[in-house]
Amino acid sequence: HDIDQLIKKALATQRFAIEKAEFEIEWERSRKPLLAYVDPDATERILLNLIDNALKYAADGKWLSIGAAADVGMIVIRVTDRGPGIPVNQREKIFTRFHRLDDQLTSQSGAGLGLSIAQMLAEGMNGSLQCVTEPNHLGATLELKLPRANV
């Protein structure tokens, strides 16, 4: 499946929420098709979760970057925001079921399952989902790696 087409579909699905939140989206489209061996529904669900999290937890930043690139044997999709970021000691814990960075009653809604499910879906497609560190960047970057199709 063409990863840019899956990103396009996820952004279209979230269009109303993106506009309502007044987010600026930077979509770095690839120059040529990036094909990956994926379940398109599972990939879209992961992308929707990553976009939704940025809209909820990085609302003050009003900016989201999404793009894909080819790497050795993998397609790497990066979703980056300008929110408060994820503390280093929480970057693995955010993928634990029911874990939330902020458990206050006033925080955004959610049960803390989205990233756990997204990571399981990625691993089910022989991929991975992780939080990565961006030098000199405030905010969060989540990186989804999926098996690249050899064409």
Number of residues that this document lists for the chain:
151
pTM for the predicted model, two decimal places:
0.85
The reported pLDDT for the residue numbered 107 is 47
β-bridge partners, 20 = none
Q: One-letter amino acid identity for 142? A: L
Residue 50: closest CA among 80, 89, 91: 80
Select from 18, 143, 28, 32 the least CA-distant residue to 77.
143
DSSP states of 57-83: HSTTT-EEEEEEEEETTEEEEEEEE-S
Q: Along the 151 residues of the chain, how does pLDDT read in single tens digits?
A: 999 999 999 999 999 999 999 999 999 998 889 999 999 999 999 999 999 999 988 888 899 999 999 999 999 999 999 887 766 655 466 656 544 555 433 345 554 567 889 999 999 999 999 988 766 667 888 999 999 997 6
Helical ranges in the chain per DSSP H: 3-13, 15-20, 40-57, 114-124
Number of neighbours of residue 63 by Cβ within 10 angstroms:
16
pLDDT for residue 138: 77
Q: Give the residue from 130, 140, 122, 141 showing the smallest Cα distance to 36.
A: 122
Output the pLDDT for position 103. Answer: 46
131, 57 in Cβ contact below 8 A?
A: no
The pLDDT assigned to 100 comes to 53
Residue 76: per-residue pLDDT: 97
